[in-house]
Amino acid sequence: MLPLGDDNPTFRRPIVTPILIGLNVLVWILFQGAGTEEALVRSTCELGAIPGELTGKATEDAIQLGPNVVCLLADQPHWYTIVTSMFLHGGWLHLIGNMWFLWIFGDNVEDSMGRLRFLVFYLLSGVAAAVTHIFTDPASVLPMVGASGAIGGVMGAYVVLYPKAPVRLLLILGILITTVRVPAVVMLGYWFLLQVVSGLPQLSAGEPGGVAFWAHVGGFLTGVALCFVFRNPALVERHRAALAALRQSQEWERVRAASPWQHGGRHIPWERRG
- Architecture field, domain 2-161+191-251: Up-down Bundle (1.20)
Please write down the HEC assignment for all residues of the chain. CEEEEECCCCCCCCCHHHHHHHHHHHHHHHCCHHHCHHHHHHHHHHHCECHHHHHCCCCCCEEEEECCEEEECCCCCCCCHHHHHHHCCCCHHHHHHHHHHHHHHHHHHHHHHCHHHHHHHHHHHHHHHHHHHHHHCCCCCCCECCCHHHHHHHHHHHHHHCCCCEEEEEEEECCEEEEEEEEHHHHHHHHHHHHHHHHHHHHHCCCCCCCCHHHHHHHHHHHHHHHHHHCCHHHHHHHHHHHHHHHHHHHHHHHHHHCCCCCCCCCCCCCCCC
- What pLDDT was estimated at residue 171? 87
Using CA atoms, how far apart are residues 53 and 55, in angstroms rounded to an integer? Answer: 6
- What pLDDT was estimated at residue 239? 76
- What pLDDT was estimated at residue 253? 59
Q: What pTM does this model have?
A: 0.85
Q: Which amino acid is at 63?
A: I
pLDDT tens digits in sequence order for the chain, 274 residues long:
789 999 888 888 999 999 999 999 999 999 999 988 888 988 998 999 999 889 888 777 777 776 766 777 877 888 999 999 999 999 999 999 999 999 999 999 999 999 999 999 999 999 999 999 999 988 888 899 999 999 999 999 999 999 999 999 998 887 888 999 999 999 999 999 999 999 988 777 655 567 889 999 999 999 999 999 999 888 888 877 877 777 777 665 554 454 444 433 333 333 333 3
- What pLDDT was estimated at residue 60? 77
Domain ranges of the chain: 2-161+191-251
Which residues does residue 72 pair with via DSSP β-bridges, in sequence order? 62
